[in-house]
């Protein structure tokens, strides 16, 4: 019975959190003019997906730990092992995490978008794609530059 209560609580809390996240995204889009709507929608959807995934993962992890405790499994060794493994993976994936976090801030702060002409480092060109990990820029010479978001220290946006 306790496991069922945990699962129901997980589903309810996750649904409420994701609904709040969707409403927040809709309120952000309501304030935007029609010409910027498509570009802003893509950014808002990307950020909503990242935050929604994080919420689902955290709530799922907490529910799994609570279910293990309800079944009678000692979770201390499990959490200790997961902590050490997470630390090792964290050190190994530092660059990847830095790229993702930088990508989230690029999207949230609306530093540049698809179609903008920008200078990032020594590269000048038109932005073709802004992702969470990388930004693709088509240079003036026709070359495609793929820049990890974590390596972007300064941006000059000539379109704004």
CATH code linked to domain 2-92: 1.10.287
Give, rounded to a whole angstrom, the gap between the first and last alpha carbons of the chain.
58
User: Residue 101: left (phi > 0), alpha (psi -120 to 50), or beta?
Assistant: alpha
With residues binned 3-state (H G I as helix, E B as strand, rest as coil), the percentages for the chain, rounded to 5, are: 65, 15, 20
| The CATH number of domain 117-157, selected from 3.40.50.300, 2.30.30.60, 1.10.1050.10, 3.40.50.970 | 2.30.30.60
What would the pLDDT profile of 94-134 be if each residue is shown by its tens digit?
898 899 889 888 887 888 888 889 999 899 999 988 888 89
H or E stretch covering 27: helix 2-30
Residues in the chain: 160
Top mean-pLDDT range of 48-52, 95-99, 146-150: 146-150
H or E stretch covering 125: strand 123-130
């Amino acid at each position: 019975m306790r496991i069922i209560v945990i699962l129901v609580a997980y589903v309810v809390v996750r649904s409420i959190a994701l609904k709040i996240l969707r409403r927040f995204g809709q309120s952000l889009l309501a304030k935007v003019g029609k010409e910027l709507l498509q570009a802003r929608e893509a950014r808002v959807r990307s950020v909503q997906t990242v935050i929604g995934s994080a919420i689902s993962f955290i709530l799922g992890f907490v529910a799994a730990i609570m279910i293990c405790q309800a079944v009678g499994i000692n979770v201390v060794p499990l959490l200790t092992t997961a902590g050490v493994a997470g630390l090792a993976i964290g050190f190994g994936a530092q660059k990847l995490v830095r790229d993702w976090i930088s990508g989230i801030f690029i999207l949230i702060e609306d530093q540049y978008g698809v179609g903008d002409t920008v200078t990032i480092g020594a590269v000048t060109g038109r932005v073709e794609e802004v992702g969470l990990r990388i930004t693709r820029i088509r240079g003036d010479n026709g070359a495609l530059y793929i820049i990890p978001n974590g390596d972007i220290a300064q941006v000059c946006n000539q379109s704004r």
